[in-house]
Amino acid sequence: MRGTTRTVAVAGISAAALLLAGCGGGGDEGGDTTDTAAKTGGAITVRGCNPENPLIAGNTSETCGGNVLDVVTAKLVKYNVDTAAPENDIAESIETSDNQNFTVKLKKDYKFHDGTVVKAKNFVDAWNYTAYGPNAQLGSYFFEPIEGYGDLQSEDPDGEEGPQKAPAPKAKEMTGLKVVDDTTFTIKTTEKVSNLPVRLGYTAFAPQPDAFFADPKTFGDKPIAAGPYKVDSWTKNAEIKLSKFADYSGEKKGNLDNITFKIYQDSNAAYADVQANQLDVTDEVPASAQIDDKYKTDLPDRNLQKPVGVIQTITTAPAKVDPNYGPEIRKAISMAINREAIIKAIFNGSREPATGWVSPVVDGYKADVCGEFCKYDPAKAKEQLAKAGGFKGGKITLSYNADASHKEWTEATCNSIKQALGVDCVATPVVDFSTFRTQIHDRKMKGMFRTGWQMDYPSIENFLAPLYGTGASSNDGDYSNPEFDAKLKEAAAATDPAESNKLYQEAEAIIAKDMATIPLWYSTATFGWSDKVTNVKSTPFGVPDYASISLK
């Protein structure tokens, strides 16, 4: 789903010095807090960050907005907070006999926050709105498999900068969606899609109430959804206040009455507030507190660390924005990054060096897809750079959002690149995540920039299609390879899961040849919390299970 904001400044110690010193010991995988009898009621504050866009399910593709929508929305499917296994939520059933024609039946009287009932048309109308090209929704790509999606798109004949406007699409509704009655609708895909039911728990597939279509432009400031919590207010750059939805129709109701996402510009400040019991939960522990497991001393019995479905990568600007970072240059840069030393120095060994583009937590993961190009080898890196004709862009830049803990590792990464290649590399901060993502989305970001991916649903496909498919919603580098696209379609159509995974692995091998992005490491979630809360858990997606948290 989402470009993640994860991982901050080590006070008083430069990242380069940390890398050279190699300080820090091995990481320790902690568990979640032991479940205790949940106390209901009360209010907490949790760390938040600036969403890139208004809180509209079909236009949110990053964690700052996504973490809020996770507890505000309900979808056809939800994911088990312990295993990530898909389970029906609003759906009573999702049935297919051929993986191409699906019949969805809804539970009766499932309510939105405004008291209206969730009906089949609320899904169909929302999906058509998101897929319709002129609406420019970031989640549009997720509806590409549905029959008729192409007719909702149009191409600007002279590009975005030219004077001509794109013609109106042929249609406003996908032929593959049909409302049967208030509690039934059907989905027809262009080709077989074996894992479609697994995908339907992603935020973009959430239904929208009738109120959304009356005023889509302002709806996102105070969205109406069907989840366990509702948005009461959003004070920009300060906080997003949620309250428990009394008439929530789902099985897992929240324990707390109120949850406030306090928006921080610096996760060091959030961590300090947790230590002082002025913030109840932070989903980000700064690098300074991870060295020698300091956070475990700072927050005894109120911390956790858990492997999750998140990968950190480096993406290079599209060639039309910055032509200096072609595939062969990316390979040289990748071999110049000492992943093991950076993980040891900055993350206290709590990451795993990435050897490919898919997280080990999902079925279908294959080790060492990246091969020699993800192994630190300064000599080969220099040879590769010479083979590529040298770096012609002057200095290499690596941009990151400054409101989260990326300063140390980006500086350490640049230091490693500079030492190995003899080319200057500068870690470049951007004020906050919203500004950072806007520059990337508008294709104004040059050089390299940090990217991370938090899985939307537990599938190897989710680490490939949304990130590297031609025109995909989170394809920040505009990677395009027809062979890769064709392999994705072939894998999606396979009815046998093992065969499907094999084909997705072949697709991953294609992006390895092109070094579509530079894989860095597989992540762990590290949380800390105040002494007044309990039942803090991490989902397999690396997000706190906010609905389970309770006061002591």
Q: Which CATH number goes with the domain that contains 85? A: 3.90.76.10
- 435 lies in the same domain as 470: yes
Same domain, 454 and 320: yes
**Domain assignment of residue 267, given as a range:** 43-47+235-303+526-551
pLDDT digits (tens, 9 = 90+) for 213-252: 999 989 999 999 999 999 999 999 999 999 999 999 999 8
Is 60 a member of any domain?
no
Do 537 and 423 reside in the same domain of the chain?
no
Give the integer Cα–Cα distance in Å for 406 and 435. 15
Assess if residue 386 is contained within a domain: yes
Q: Judge whether 220 lies within some domain.
A: no
Q: Do 386 and 493 belong together in one domain?
A: yes
Q: Within a domain: residue 325? A: yes
Is residue 27 in some structural domain? Answer: no
Same domain, yes or no: 359 and 280: no
How many domains in the chain? 3
**pLDDT tens, position by position, 317-353:** 999 999 999 999 999 999 999 999 999 999 989 899 9
Dihedral, 450, 350, 374, 395 alpha carbons, nearest 10: 40
Side-chain half-sphere CA neighbours of 288 within 13 A: 17
The residue to which tokens 């990530």 are assigned: 84
Does residue 294 share a domain with residue 184? no
Residues 6 or more apart whose CB falls under 8 angstroms from that of 347 comprise 7, 24, 27, 287, 290, 409, 521
- Residue with the larger pLDDT of the pair 475 and 25: 475
Residues 364, 487, single domain; the answer is: yes
Same-domain status, 322 and 364: yes
The H or E element spanning position 511 is helix 497-514
Q: pTM of the predicted model, to two decimals?
A: 0.78
67 has pLDDT over 60: yes
CATH number of the domain within which 288 lies: 3.40.190.10
* Exposure string for 310-319, b = 16+ CB within 10 A, e = fewer: bbbbbbbbbe
Residues 462 and 514 in one domain: yes
Is 341 inside a domain boundary?
yes
| 135 and 250 both lie in a single domain | no
Q: Residues for the chain: how many in total?
A: 552
**Which of 211, 243, 266 is the last residue before a domain boundary?**
211
Nearest of 490, 526, 530 to residue 510 by alpha carbon? 490
Q: Is residue 208 pLDDT above 80, yes or no?
A: yes
Cβ contact 52:62 at 8 Å: yes
Who wins on pLDDT, 220 or 24?
A: 220
Same domain, 285 and 319: no
Q: At 39, is the pLDDT very low, low, confident or very high (cuts 50, 70, 90)?
A: confident
pLDDT above 90 covers a percentage of the chain that reads 78
Is 129 found in the same domain as 239? no
We report the CATH number of the domain holding residue 400 as 3.10.105.10
Whether 487 maps to a domain, the answer reads yes
Residue 28: pLDDT band with limits 50, 70, 90: very low
Query: Does residue 1 sit within a domain?
Result: no
